[in-house]
Structure formats: C-alpha cells, structure tokens
Amino acid sequence: MRIAVTGQVGQVVTSLAERDAAAGHEVIAIGRPQLDLADPKSVMHALEAAAPDAIVSAAAYTAVDKAEGERDLAHTVNRAGAGAVAQAAKTLGVPLVHVSTDYVFDGALDRPYVESDATGPTGVYGVSKLAGEQAVLAAHGDNSAIVRVAWVYSPYGANFVKTMLRLAGDRDEVSVVADQVGNPTSGLEIADGILMVATNLVADSNPALRGVFHMTAQGEASWADFAEAIFAASAARGGPSALVRRIGTVDYPTPATRPANSRLDCGLIARVHGVALPNWHGSLDTVIARLIADAN
C-alpha cells in the first residue's frame, strides 16, 4: 500500500518512514516546499502527484507555547491546512488518518478521557488542533480516522526524553513537574498503530472504522515519574542520569496552560481497529537503548 504522509521531519513522520517496510507499505513523506500547510493551496497538487492509496495527516504546528503569540499561523496550519489535506483525500477518493492531540481537553477530569467526553482546550495550540479535527470531519468525515496521541517521544526530533538526557549531561539534579499525568507514548509505536488503522480503512468501508479514536501507550506517569524512568534506563546503559526534583506546575510557569490530566482511554481503538500499544516502560527502554548507542 502506498501512503502519503504530510511532513518530513516530525517524530511521527520519521517513525512511519522507519516502520513502513516491516509493515509491507511504501511511505512517501511530503513536506515543504512541495506541500506547505501554511499555504493550503499547495496541498492538493502535492498529494495528487504522490498517487496514494491512503493519506496520513501528520504535519502540524506544534510549538505549544509559541502558539500563544502566533494564533493566526497556528490556525492556518492546524485548521485550514488539515482541512485542505482532508479535502484532497476526498477528491482523490482515498481514506485519511489525521493525527491530533490530548490538548483538545482541559485536563480537569479525574479519569482517562474517552472520545465522547466534552472537549475544552485551554490554549491556542489545543484550540487550533480541535478546529483541525472539525475541519477534517466536515470535509471527509465519512472516510477518515482521527487519532489523538499524547506525550510523544522517539529517537527522532525534539522531545522530552532527549531533553532529559541532555540536561542530565551537565547537571546532577533536574526539576520536573509532578502534578501533570499522561501516557508517555513512543512515536515508533504510534507509527505501527497508524499503519494498522490505514490498512483497515483501505480494506474495509465499515463506518465503525471511521471517526475519532484515542491511541496512546498503556500505563500512566507524571512528568517526574517519566523523567525518573528515563534516567534509570539511561544509567543502566552507562548513559547520563540525574536526580529528579519534583515540583508543581505553579513552580514552572509557561505561556500555555498544560492539561493536568492528559490520560486517554484507548479501549475504542483496541476494539474497533485491533490496535493496542504496548506499555510505555518497555517502549521507553527501546528508545533509550537506541539513543545511548547513537551517542557512543
């Protein structure tokens, strides 16, 4: 199966390119200048030239704090750009997998979020991503699956795991927020799940396979818990490690408000698509091993 993916350098895009051969697919990553979500008019031509059997909408504006001062750009990319990708998929007559985020919720619930829970993003990034979901459903809802992911890390790009390892390289203690909880999720595992969902959409027209789904790793952690696991896995391989000083969100103010609860219930995608990502501890170990090996 030939899958066109928007973007070229993001964690999910790069992970898809790594995992495609094992899954028996061909992934064509298309980014700027051929496809620029800030210029939605470029989208149709670039995707049509790829002649895909399915499209994955992975590219996005993801600078959560910077978005507070770049509202128009965030909405152009995440709403108008996502809508243009969905419209192109509809015109080409192919299914679409659109990648979204836990930031569409306000984080106030005391349990993992299910797909039917009310959304309520608290920042520009979350608002723009929710608007993107709505644009996708409006343009191509009858043949799209929206997958919300969270706390993504991988051997690629910038992410929390790589930041913690870098900080541990030059200090003995790192302050990490302990009152935000979520599901740390490997981009490599997300890629596997997306490829399975895309395969299902191409093979089966069942409406139950379309709609909104949550897809994260099993298990939960606070950012401080996650950091401690990162340092333990790194130390076991002779890599950098540090003590974690647990702090509150109030001690680490940021321009954008982060959800206190980012946990997502993934029961629906397991039942409908057969996608159940592994526990995050094992996946983290795999990524850490690769990062330590690459650094040596």
Q: How far apart are CA 216 and CA 78, in angstroms?
A: 21
Within 13 A of 141's CA, how many CA atoms are on the CB side? 8
Catalytic residue among 61, 103, 113, 125: 125
Tokens at residue 108, please? 């106030």
Encoding tokens for residue 162?
A: 């790589």
Orientation angle between helical segments 280-295 and 223-235, nearest 10 degrees: 50
Q: Are 147 and 97 in contact, with CB atoms under 8 Å apart?
A: yes
How many Å is the maximal CA-CA distance in the chain? Answer: 55
Instruction: Identify the residue whose tokens are 């909104």.
Output: 212
Q: For strand 243-247 and strand 173-177, is the pairing parallel, antiparallel, or unpaired?
A: parallel
User: What is the SS3 assignment for 279?
Assistant: strand
Based on the residue annotation, tell me whether 125 is a catalytic residue of this protein. yes
Q: Which residues pair with 3 in a beta bridge?
A: 27, 54
Please count the CA atoms within 13 angstroms of the CA of 93 that sit on its side-chain side: 0
Question: Which ranges of 63-210 would DSSP assign to H, the alpha helix?
Answer: 71-75, 82-92, 124-140, 160-168, 187-203
Active site residues: 125
